[in-house]
Structure 1
Amino acid sequence: MGKSITPPGGDDEKGGQVLPVNLREALEERYLAYALSTIMNRALPDVRDGLKPVHRRILYGMREMRLLPAGGYKKSAKVVGEVMGNFHPHGDQAIYDALVRLAQDFAVRYPLVDGQGNFGNIDGDSAAAMRYTEARMTDVAELLLRGIDEDAVDFRPTYDGEDEEPVVLPGAFPNLLANGSSGIAVGMATNIPPHNAAELCDAALHLIGNRNASVDDLLQFVPGPDFPTGGIVVSPRAEIAETYRTGRGGFKMRARWEKEDAGRGMWSVVITEIPYQVQKSRLIEQIAGLIETRKLPLVNDIRDESTDVVRVVIEPKSRTVDPELLMESLFKLSDLEARFSMNMNVLSRGQVPNVLSLKDVLVEWLDHRQVVLVRRSRHRLGKIEHRLEVLAGYLIAFLNLDEVIRIIRFEDDPKAVMIAKFGLTDVQVEAILNMRLRALHKLEELEIRTEHDQLTKEKAGIEALLASEAKQWKVIAFEIGEVRKTFGPDTPVGRRRTTFADAPVIDLGDIHQAMIEKEPVTIVLSEKGWIRSLRGHLQDLGGLTFKEGDRLKRAFHCQTTDKILLFSTGGKFFTLDASKLPGGRGHGEPVRIMVDMDKDQDVVTLFAHDPARKLLLASTSGYGFTIAESELVANTRKGKQVLNVSAGEEAKICVVATGDQVAVIGTNRKMLVFPASQLPEMNRGKGVRLQRYKDGEISDVRVFDAGIGLTWTDGAARLHQRSITDLRDWIGDRAQSGRLAPQGVPKSNKFGVEGV
């Protein structure tokens, strides 16, 4: 419940009556008034002219100051003072900031203010103070104001009631979509990208001829935004279409770049256009910071060689770097790729905030143009009728010139006498009485009759126009066609700057590697599951220290760009990034905090991923299969279940499956050799039986080529080798028991070489 409050000036102050006020209702009423004021008078543009009040007042104020495109410039401070004093009762800096943005060719696609002096730049430098800069209107601004003196739009009193300002501009230019807009109101916001004016005119002309056209039809003319800074839109066409259908969505923008030959096999990347609203200086600082922190190992240096055009040079680390891969890594980490979120929230019909589609915006602009045409035509018709009335009076005066002169000379009230004698109107008599004597020569009568005929003909044309909606749309189409000629694709200002393309398909793994500096490392895993990464390829591991009671389980060489695969006794594979493993200081970190491995499971092996290999996996019960190593990469901490094991079993074997023969040995010391072709290749499962056991379980597996033979090392590190002929007594079929291993096989029943 709201509380009652006593307003200031109660009984104690003036002895007046205490008026209870419901606090909730008072706050709701005042906040609503504030919200409406922000939405209507500050943040959201009008769909008809695409302007917010401050921009509209700036343009109207400049017109009142006669700052036309063909005229001279005046100090921005004078413009700001006039606008603030007459129309916009807010801070001068806010008005100047709005004026500056209208003059920045990198901020608006078609500037409305022609600035002279420092109006800022794409690096983010601010404009000079208003006392140092000068301004006048552009041709686009003149189009927006065309016909404003012809009763084209409504006017309202200014904030002090001493003057009037337009509610909306006539808007002969599709400004809302051509220049875009952005703003944050209360509970809503707007963000509209710039577009190509010629394309908008084409879409509007299509709508005039076919009001039932869909947004998809209009997208044949308006393929997407046309940003003043150029760049490339890489969003899918379907996503762009949905954005224009709903009025909400986004566009993914990328910088435009090219490979430039630097001679002797060297090259560099030159960026010529950057995404809209990205400050070039901050972009370069961002990329330089990434280079310094070694997050862009493919990039050696960046430098800014820009003048009045953008030229940012990026040097690769070496000539062997793939330019596409280098740029994809830059797009992923820097603002060379940005997203423009569109929210076409505007004041529909100048009154109702609403999110409109592309078609809705164009329809409302066309309807406004029709209203402006009708109002201008009626205004002109009124002027013509008034002039015809005056001309008719002139003709009567010329036909009775001597009598008119006599009446003027001798009558006390010539006006009343002339009205009574000739049947003239008050307007006609006033015009005759105000006529100059030099207008009484004979040629003037002919000129009056000629003008009368011309105006009569023009009046008939306007009346026909007002009576026919088809003729009105024909005139509007002609006006839009003239705008299209002025801003056509063959003109410097009308040429499309932003293009469309599909982002190149680059493997995410390649991009990931491109963002990691490639260095040799040695990965060390202890028996208790502590893992670390030592810089360089260490040959002597005798100096490694471990926690008390712990010792080395597995160590191998790889690169920081490699993926590390971990195989658990539960038959799961987990994936680790070599670059993200803890450094060599101390004893590392438990691998269990990096992956979600069950507490009752342990690590079988750990190795660097090679997607070109095949592996043989087997459980303690002697079941197994082969699998392509490319199928083992897991994308989450939970890992990827590959080898299914039953209760009481564990995954035990993971070896490289290169060869045409398989040698299996069990803990019962029996060995079996069979063709590798008898093993299936699977992606997941229990597999098939490799060797049968009455007592014991599988101990080790080796895949080898029959032409080379089977090799192993004994406890004294001596190498043993048996040809396929020597192994004929052990050759059989998969799932047999085998026979006792040959002499020389270690008592551990291991072939003496790590699996992978």
Structure 2
Amino acid sequence: MSQDFIKPINVAEELSNSFLEYSMSVIISRALPDVRDGLKPSQRRVLYAMRQLGVTPGKAHVKCAKIVGETMGNYHPHGDSSIYSTLVNMGQPWSMREMLVDGQGNFGSVEGDAAASMRYTEARLHHLGMAMMEDLDKDTVDFQPNYDGSQEEPSVLPSAFPNFLVNGGTGIAVGMATNLAPHNLGEVIDGICAQIDNSEITLEELMQHIKGPDFPVSCEIRGIRGIEEYFRTGRGSMRLRGKVEIEENENGKSIIVIREVPYGVNRAVLQERIAELVNEKTLTGISGMRDLSDEETRIEIELKRDARPQVVVNQLFKLTTLETSFSVNMLAIHKNRPKQLSLKEAIDAYIEHRREVVLRRTRYLLGKAEERAELLEAYLLALGHLDDFIKIIRDSKNRDEARERLAAYEFSTATAEGLGILIRSQAAVKGDRYVFSERQVNAILELRLYQLTGLERDKVKGEYDAVLLDIKDLLDILAREERVLNIIKDELRLIKDKHATPRKCPILAEAGEIPMEDLIANDAMIVTLSHRGYIKRTPANEYRLQGRGGKGLKGMETRSTGKDEPDDFVEHMFSVQAHDYLLFFTNTGRMYVERVYELPEGSRTAMGRSIKNVLNLKPDEKIAALLRLERTVDEDGNDVTFREDAGFVFFATRTGKVKKTALNDFRNYRKDGIIAINLEEDNELIGVRLTSGSDEIILVTHEGLSLRFHEDDTRSMGRNSMGVMGIRPREEDYVVGLALVTEGATLLVASDNGLGKRTSFEEYRKQSRGGKGIITMKVTEKTGPVVGAVTVTEQDQLMLMTSTGQNIRIRVDGIRETGRNAQGVKLLTLKEGETLQDISIFIPDGEDAGAETEDGEAQEGAAADAPEAPAE
């Protein structure tokens, strides 16, 4: 070789330049997605190859090997395994928030199992995958030569939905990486529309629409600060938690049920880790584990009898991938270079892309409409001078002569306008004469004989008028930016209506981030707790008002034990607000505090979730009484619910003992609970009330006796005390009700058989604490024993719950006032074997329209009032 062809170079410089070219190639053409369509080149080429094969929704699936071969041979000259893995990933519901490929066969599993070989699996485009390429044949995007120049491929897809934000993705380039979180399709579309309406929208306003990420699996997202951070800067992190519930098996043992693992966590690896921790004696409360998962996750972890479920759950979160972190880095290709994008910048890039798509599509359609209008003009002119045109064609020697003579034929512009032709092109006019173009001449020569009929002439004129309207509309779109943006919004909302799904991942703020009260409306709620410890909160508007004597609506779905024990039933019911506190007092005398909005929400007929999912109860500990505590704030918005002058908590037990403790003593409550009262082994709480320090108390017993006394008779005691005697029940009698004497109110007493009455407090003379009491309700076989007593006014409403889970909401003013020893009137209609279980004051959220029964008709006086019993 001649020395002239050898040039000395600097090796370091050559390596630097070569590596830079390689790096840019990896960054631009392989690893990072384009912000406009959210796809890497490999994904884009697979989708385009499937479109070219005609593997569209509604058609039969084809072998994945055929798709891979088409992609590799025409567009992506790389290994078939990498192309197939790209195809499989777009068809996995646990990997993609909205799938682009509809797969058939073994596409792998969430446990990390690989997909079957491409010769066994089949695929076709999903509806959203097809939406990515909508209007691709209307010059909406640029095309580029493929790797060998034999064909062309799109440089970007039109992307009818914001795939970049909806599906996210990961990629590792040279010196940089991207990790995009998926989001909810409906939320993202709402956010894009809001940003179109207001280009200066703030991040806080945008987050009213786009709450945060929404992963393909239903895990919990913890931490709002991280979401705000990556929305603002493009980088941030949050914690993901699996969904865990606590249940009881038939033997009474607690079971931790893992219903969902965090996004990206392998279920099999998680179970292996839990088994290791148990073998290492790190997790000591677990006695067994089994995987009952099918399409849905269900991993059951059985606990030892002395284990505390909430403690074990917290250990699982801390020591395993049941809680993990997810870091977001919104790095993408923007204007042919990598850029880290904020949420607003990503949305702006998509809006600009769709704006360009709409404008290019409109220009394409306008060109097609102009071409069609030109041909229709020729048809109309030819049909208007049919005899002349037939003579010219008949007298011509050949086609070329006919073409020349037709091209030379001229009309006046007035003649054209007289035929209803709107002359749009100046090229068709010479002075005051209208001349044919070459395309028009060819169209006239190709007219068929049937098109010369009158009906066909009317049809041509109708089509011509319609095309002119289309041209006018398309020109208006090109002239007005507002029209373009409205089209973008309308097309996105159409996608949302067809394909949007509810959010899968709830977003929970961490302690100290944002006050939950600022995120949750203070709506009226009904809280129910069953005998076996299933709790839920339900919006109060699900319980409509009914008339006294009605049959009621179906309430909580209670669980059958399947044993000799009675079935589960609702034991406590409270009407509360979402921001209120609930104080839970257990049979062992401990107290737990929980906010209403933190309780599990369920429908009116839902069974609810075990209280062990909410409170860190000790083994064999059960809820004995509840107290609703309304949240109060000072002028600065600080929570002062447990302030020193907030009053007292007054306790009443089954054996008749009472105790009064300052509410301020409970301010330092803990998740593990605190001591509230000391109880004897054969005693239990039956009621707890909040008092002012100067209230009067009424205790009511099962056999219909009552005792009224002033709370000054009971001195304030510490939390770790047993209390003093309030009423001395007779043998086999016990206390069932605790009520406060209120001016202008009455005492409502209800019995086991559904009878109830109101009695003025004036009929209850004040007595000394510790007596046996006087009659409050005449207990007979017809009435049954007393089940509860509450203080009511005529403006109140009452919620009644039966042993079978039925409930009825009635007005108190529909229950007439009677004497102490009367039997009362029927409050509701009970079925055979059914009894009244609990009564509660209902606080309505707004004005009720009127009393209605289950079938919507008023039902007043459905049962006759029971006669009063004679006084003793």
Measure how far apart 1:498 and its partner are: 4.4
Q: Give deviations 1:686-724, integer Å, cap 9, x for gaps.
A: xxxxxxxxxxxxxxxxxxxxxxxxxxxxxxxxxxxxxxx
Deviations, residues 530-563 of structure 1 (Å, cap 9, x unaligned)? xxxxxxxxxxxxxxxxxxxxxxxxxxxxxxxxxx
Distance 2:345 2:364 in 1: 29
- Of 466, 482, 488, the residue aligned with 2:478 is 466
Q: 1:52 to 1:505 in 2, by over 3 A?
A: farther
In 2: Cα distance, 1:483 partner to 1:129 partner: 33
Cα deviation for residue 238 of structure 1 reads: 2.4
Q: How does 1:348-387 map to 2 (within 5 A)?
A: 348-349=334-335, 351-387=336-372
| SS across alignment from 1:37 | helix
The answer for the alignment partner of 1:476 in structure 2 is 488
- Paired positions, count: 487
Distance 2:53 2:255 in 1: 51
The answer (yes or no) to whether the contact 2:258–2:299 under 8 Å persists in 1 is: yes
Amino acid at match of 2:300: V
Which residue, 27, 38, 47 being the options, matches 1:59? 47
Q: Which of these residues, 239, 252, 266, is aligned with residue 279 of structure 1?
A: 266
204, 229, 252: which one aligns with 2:239? 252
1:409 and 1:74 map into 2 onto residues whose CA distance is 55
Contact 1:252 1:339 in 2 (8 A): yes
Per the alignment, in what secondary structure is the counterpart of residue 63 of structure 1? helix
User: CA offsets, 1:627-648, max 9 Å, x none?
Assistant: xxxxxxxxxxxxxxxxxxxxxx
Match of 1:297 among 284, 297, 320: 284
User: Who is 2:12 aligned against?
Assistant: 24
* Corresponding residue SS for 1:103: coil
Q: What is the one-letter code of the residue matched to 1:140?
A: L
Deviations, residues 21-55 of structure 1 (Å, cap 9, x unaligned): 12122111111110110001110000000000010
Is the CA contact 2:310–2:616 (under 8 Å) kept in the aligned structure 1?
no
Q: What letter corresponds to residue 476 of structure 1 in structure 2?
A: I
Paired residue secondary structure (2:39)? coil
Q: Is the 8 A contact 2:309 2:616 kept in 1?
A: no
Q: Which residue of 2 aligns with 1:83?
A: 71
- Take 1:494 and 1:82, find their aligned partners in 2: how far apart are those partners? 36
Q: What is the distance in 1 between the residues matched to 2:174 and 2:284?
A: 45
The aligned counterpart of 1:750 is none
| 1:315-464 correspondence to structure 2 within 5 Å | 315-316=302-303, 318-349=304-335, 351-411=336-396, 412-422=400-410, 423-464=435-476
Change (3 A) 1:495 1:434: farther
CA deviation vs aligned residue, 1:549-588 (integer Å, no higher than 9, x gap): xxxxxxxxxxxxxxxxxxxxxxxxxxxxxxxxxxxxxxxx
Secondary structure of the residue aligned to 1:90 is coil
In structure 2, relative to structure 1, the CA distance for the partners of 1:289 and 1:64 (3 Å cut) is same
Name the residue aligned to 2:508: 500
Q: Which letter does structure 1 place at the counterpart of 2:490?
A: F
Once residues 73 and 222 of structure 1 are traced to their aligned partners in structure 2, the CA distance between those partners, rounded to angstroms, is 35
Q: Which residue of 2 aligns with 1:631?
A: none
CA positional deviation for 1:251: 1.5
Instruction: Output the CA distance in 2 between the equivalents of 1:456 and 1:16.
Output: 69
SS in 2 for 1:258: strand
Conservation of the 8 A alpha-carbon contact between 2:450 and 2:456: no
Q: Distance in 2 between matches of 1:78 and 1:390?
A: 42
C-alpha distance in 2 between matches for 1:191 and 1:393: 58
Corresponding residue for residue 82 of structure 2 = 94
Aligned-partner Cα distance in 2 for 1:102–1:286: 29
- Aligned-pair identity (%): 41
1:265 Cα deviation after fit: 2.5
Asked whether the 8 Å contact 1:232–1:501 carries over to 2, the reply is: no
Write the distance in 2 (CA, Å) between the matches of 1:213 and 1:360. Answer: 12
- How far has the Cα of 1:270 moved from its partner? 0.7
Corresponding residue number in structure 2 for 1:107: 95
Q: C-alpha distance in 1, partners of 2:197/2:409? A: 55
Confirm or deny: 8 A CA contact 2:253 2:302 kept in the other structure.
Answer: no
Higher alpha-carbon deviation: 265-274 or 411-420: 411-420
* Deviation of the 1:230 alpha carbon: 1.3
Q: What root-mean-square deviation, in Å, do the aligned CA atoms of Structure 1 and Structure 2 show?
A: 1.7
Give the direction of change, closer, same or farther, for the CA distance of 1:226–1:95 in structure 2 (3 Å limit): same
Q: Is the 8 A contact 1:119 1:126 kept in 2?
A: yes
Greater shift after overlay, 320-329 or 52-61? 320-329
- Contact kept? 1:346, 1:354, Cα under 8 Å: yes
Per-residue CA deviation, residues 430-455 of structure 1 (Å, 9 max, x unaligned), is 22223333333221111111111111
Q: Retained in 1: the 8 A contact 2:37–2:156?
A: yes
- Deviations 1:625-668 (Å, cap 9, x if unpaired)? xxxxxxxxxxxxxxxxxxxxxxxxxxxxxxxxxxxxxxxxxxxx
- Post-superposition offset of 1:15: 5.2
SS in 2 for 1:161: coil
Structure 1 unmatched ranges of 5 or more: 1-12, 507-756
Q: Secondary structure at the match of 1:284?
A: helix
Report the Cα offset of residue 200 of structure 1: 0.2
Deviations 1:184-234 (A, max 9, x none): 001110000111000001111110111111222211111111110110011
Assess if the C-alpha contact under 8 Å between 2:308 and 2:616 holds in 1.
Answer: no
Instruction: Say yes or no: does 1:37 pair with 2:25.
Output: yes
| Partner deviation per Cα, 1:39-73 (whole Å, 9 max, x = no partner) | 01110000000000010011111111111111111
- Any conservation in 2 of the 1:227–1:498 contact (CA below 8 Å)? no
Once residues 273 and 53 of structure 1 are traced to their aligned partners in structure 2, the CA distance between those partners, rounded to angstroms, is 33
Aligned to 2:171: 183
Match of residue 306 from structure 1: 293
C-alpha distance in 1 between matches for 2:350 and 2:259? 35
Structure 2: stretches of 5+ with no match in the other structure = 411-434, 512-614, 618-872
8 A Cα contact 1:230 1:499, kept in partner: no
* Contact kept? 1:291, 1:297, Cα under 8 Å: yes
CA gap 1:505/1:438 in 2 versus in 1, 3 angstroms: farther
- Normalising by structure 2, we get a TM-score of 0.55
Retained in 2: the 8 A contact 1:225–1:498? no
The answer (yes or no) to whether the contact 1:190–1:346 under 8 Å persists in 2 is yes
**Structure with the greater alpha carbon radius of gyration:** 1
Q: Aligned-pair distance for 1:471?
A: 1.4
Residues 290-335 of structure 1: per-residue CA shift (max 9 Å, x gap):
111222112222211101111111111x233222211111111111
- Corresponding residue for 1:560? none
Q: Look up the match of 2:198.
A: 210
Are the structure 2 counterparts of residues 265 and 199 from structure 1 closer, same or farther at C-alpha, using a change threshold of 3 Å? same
CA offset at residue 500 of structure 1?
3.1
Q: Is the 8 A contact 1:86 1:158 kept in 2?
A: yes
How far is the alpha carbon of 1:400 from its aligned partner? 2.2
Conserved? CA contact 2:217–2:504, under 8 Å: no
1:239 positional shift: 2.9
C-alpha deviation, 1:352, in angstroms: 1.6
